C-alpha cells in the first residue's frame, strides 16, 4: 500500500500544455514500483489472440496519447481519483508477439507483482485474450464476478483446429480454470451473426446473465445497472470493456465491429453505475488505432478508462475507511 501523504498528480496543464510532455496514461508519472501506488495503469500491447483484423497491439500507445484529454475530476460524481488514491502509469508488459503461452505467462507475472504489492490493476489492451492472463493474477483467492461489456460473448471453445487461446475464448477458459464464477458474470450488448446456432450454449448453460442488445434497448441502461448489482452482489468483481460493445459509428477502430450497439453515453452511464460494487480491477480492450486515423476510438477508450478509474478509486477509498 502506498503512502497516503504523497500522491501522484497529472502534469499541470497550466504549466505544460496538454499537447506537450511525454505521453503516459492520464499524464501521470511513470512509476515502476507497484508498492508506491493504489491503482496501477498498465498497457498490454498484444493482439496475438485476434482472429480477424489485428491492430489492438497499438491500443496502449494511442490511448496514452488521447488520455491527455482527460482532466482530474469526474463532472457528475465529483470523484477526484488522484486525491483519493495514488495512481500512476506502470508502463507496458513486455509481451512476446510470436508466442501466445509465453506472452500470457509474462502478463500474469506482471499483474501478480502488482496485486501482491497491494495495488489494483486497470489495464489497456490489446485484444480480449489479454483479460485471461490478467484474471489468472486477479483471481488468486478464488473466482471473481465479471461485468463484461462486449458485442461478443467470447465463450467459444476453439478456433483453427483446436486453438484454445484466442480473443473469442477467454471467458470459457476463465470458467474452466475457476477464475470467474459464471453465476456472477453479466455480459452486456451481445449481438452479431454467429458461427452456429449453439454458439451461446456455454454462456447460457453455465448460468451467465446475458443481456443481448435487444434487451438492452428494451430495458435501458438504468435497469441494466440494477441487473448488474443483482448479479454481482457484494463479492469481488472485475470489469472488462471491449470497445466493440459500443456501436461502430462511435468506435470504428476495432477488429470485430458489429453494428447496432449502445452509444458512448450509454457506456458511460453503465460504468458510473458500477459505483458501490467491490471492484478489484478492470480493463479496456480491442481499441485498434490503425482502423481509425481520426483517433476517436482511442479517445473513447481513454474516456472509458477514466470512468472505470473513478469507480475503482471510489471503491478503494470506501475499502480504506472500513
Q: Which residues bind Mn ion (CB under 5 A)?
A: 128, 150-152, 154, 242, 244
Query: What is the nearest approach in angstroms of Mn ion to the Cβ of residue 67?
Result: 21
Query: What is the nearest approach in angstroms of Mn ion to the Cβ of residue 58?
Result: 17
* Identity of the residue, 74 or 152, whose beta carbon is nearer to Mn ion in the bound complex: 152
Q: What are the CA-CA distances from residue 4 to residues 29, 315, 321 (Å)? A: 17, 16, 13
Question: Which residues on neighbouring strands pair with residue 56, listed in sequence order?
Answer: none
* Identity of the residue, 185 or 315, whose beta carbon is nearer to Mn ion in the bound complex: 185
Alpha carbon distance 89, 36 (integer Å):
11
Omega within 30 of 0 (cis) for the link into 109: no
Query: What is the nearest approach in angstroms of Mn ion to the Cβ of residue 187?
Result: 10
* Identity of the residue, 4 or 214, whose beta carbon is nearer to Mn ion in the bound complex: 214
- Angle CA 133–172–47, to nearest 5: 45
* Identity of the residue, 37 or 288, whose beta carbon is nearer to Mn ion in the bound complex: 288
* Identity of the residue, 48 or 87, whose beta carbon is nearer to Mn ion in the bound complex: 48
Query: What is the nearest approach in angstroms of Mn ion to the Cβ of residue 125?
Result: 9
**Could you say which DSSP state residue 124 is in?**
E
Beta strands in the chain (DSSP E): 39-44, 87-92, 120-125, 144-149, 180-190, 209-212, 237-242, 279-285
Amino acid at each position: 500500500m502506498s503512502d497516503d501523504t504523497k500522491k501522484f498528480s497529472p502534469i499541470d496543464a497550466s504549466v505544460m500544455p496538454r499537447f506537450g510532455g511525454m505521453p503516459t496514461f492520464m499524464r501521470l508519472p511513470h512509476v515502476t514500483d507497484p508498492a508506491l501506488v493504489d491503482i496501477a495503469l498498465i498497457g498490454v500491447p498484444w493482439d496475438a489472440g485476434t482472429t480477424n483484423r489485428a491492430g489492438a497491439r497499438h491500443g496502449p500507445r494511442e490511448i496514452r496519447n488521447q488520455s491527455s484529454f482527460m482532466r482530474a475530476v469526474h463532472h457528475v460524481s465529483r470523484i477526484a481519483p488522484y486525491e483519493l488514491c495514488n495512481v500512476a502509469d506502470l508502463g507496458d508488459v513486455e509481451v512476446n508477439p510470436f508466442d501466445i503461452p509465453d506472452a500470457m505467462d509474462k502478463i500474469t507475472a506482471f499483474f501478480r507483482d502488482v496485486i501482491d504489492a497491494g495495488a489494483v490493476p486497470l489495464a489497456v489492451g490489446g485484444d480480449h485474450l489479454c483479460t485471461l492472463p490478467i484474471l489468472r493474477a486477479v483471481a488468486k483467492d478464488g473466482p471473481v464476478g465479471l461485468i463484461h461489456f462486449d458485442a461478443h460473448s467470447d465463450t467459444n471453445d476453439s478456433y483453427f483446429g483446436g486453438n484454445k487461446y484466442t480473443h473469442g475464448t477467454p471467458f470459457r477458459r476463465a470458467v474452466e480454470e475457476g477464475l470467474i464464477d459464471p453465476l456472477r458474470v453479466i455480459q452486456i450488448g451481445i449481438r452479431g451473426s454467429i458461427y452456429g446456432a449453439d454458439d451461446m450454449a456455454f454462456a447460457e448453460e453455465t448460468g451467465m446473465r446475458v443481456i443481448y442488445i435487444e434487451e438492452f434497448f428494451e430495458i435501458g441502461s438504468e435497469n441494466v445497472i440494477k441487473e448488474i448489482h443483482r448479479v454481482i452482489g457484494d463479492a469481488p468483481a472485475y470489469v472488462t470493456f471491449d470497445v466493440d460493445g459500443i456501436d461502430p459509428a462511435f468506435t470504428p477502430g476495432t477488429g470485430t465491429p458489429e453494428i447496432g450497439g449502445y452509444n458512448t453515453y450509454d457506456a458511460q452511464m453503465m460504468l458510473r453505475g458500477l459505483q458501490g460494487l467491490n471492484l478489484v480491477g478492470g480493463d479496456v480492450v480491442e481499441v485498434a488505432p490503425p482502423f481509425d486515423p481520426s483517433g476517436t476510438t482511442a479517445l473513447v477508450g481513454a474516456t472509458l478508462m477514466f470512468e472505470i478509474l473513478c469507480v475503482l478509486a471510489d471503491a478503494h477509498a470506501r475499502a480504506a475507511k472500513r
